[in-house]
């Protein structure tokens, strides 16, 4: 994986014990998987005035799927899924109404709260959680590798952090 980024706006005037927080607030992260799949994260934590808080795409040899998550402050009450197949020139687009409770939950639409509810439900019902321990570990390792890549200005192999 390779990442580039920095801290440009957020927390630069804060001090804790005479130290400034080192929170990376913008960057690009590219992950190359062994099977040839690539992932890209475009992060900007100070561009809040977008209509869509998040935009996600999956691109492959058959086409492209796009979706979005509206910003809780944009006033938008719907998202969309757009599917464009490579050999068809007319993509499909479906609007999806977003529950008003979710929009009122604030930034990230209360995702941490909803994740905790799902985890609690799994404990009470003695079922598997939606996200496995391994999924959580790998996501932390990928984040750590991205930060290491930014700080050391180099490609970081995930295996470096797993061994």
Predicted pLDDT at 107: 66
The full set of domain ranges for the chain reads 2-162
Residue 125 has pLDDT above 90, yes or no: yes
Beta-bridge mates of residue 67: 56, 81
Half-sphere exposure (Cβ direction) of 128: Cα atoms closer than 13 Å: 6
- Whole-model pTM: value is 0.77
Tokens encoding 121? 């439900």
Neighbour order of strands in the sheet with 26-32:
2-6, 26-32, 38-44
Predicted pLDDT at 146: 96
The number of beta carbons lying within 10 Å of the beta carbon of residue 1 is 18
Window from 102-106, 126-130, 132-136, 141-145 with minimum mean pLDDT: 102-106
DSSP secondary structure of 40-84: EEEEETT-TT-SEEEEEEEEETTEEEEEEEE-TTS---EEEEEEE
CATH of domain 2-162: 3.30.360.10
**pLDDT digit string (tens) for 31-77?**
999 999 999 999 988 877 777 778 889 998 889 999 887 776 767 77
């Amino acid at each position: 994986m390779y990442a580039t980024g920095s801290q440009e706006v957020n927390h630069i005037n804060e001090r804790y014990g005479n130290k400034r927080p080192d929170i990376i607030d913008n960057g690009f992260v590219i992950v190359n998987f062994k099977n040839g799949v690539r992932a890209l994260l475009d992060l900007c934590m100070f561009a809040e005035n977008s209509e869509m808080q998040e935009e996600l795409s999956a691109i492959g040899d058959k086409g492209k799927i796009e979706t979005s998550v509206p910003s809780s402050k944009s006033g938008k009450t719907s998202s969309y899924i757009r599917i464009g197949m490579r050999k068809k020139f007319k993509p499909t687009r479906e609007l999806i109404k977003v529950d008003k409770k979710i929009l009122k939950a604030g930034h990230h639409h209360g995702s941490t709260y909803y994740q905790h509810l799902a985890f609690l439900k799994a404990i009470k019902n003695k079922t598997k959680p939606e996200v496995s321990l391994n999924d959580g570990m790998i996501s932390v390792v990928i984040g750590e590798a991205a930060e290491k890549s930014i700080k050391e200005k180099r490609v970081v192999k995930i295996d470096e952090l797993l061994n």
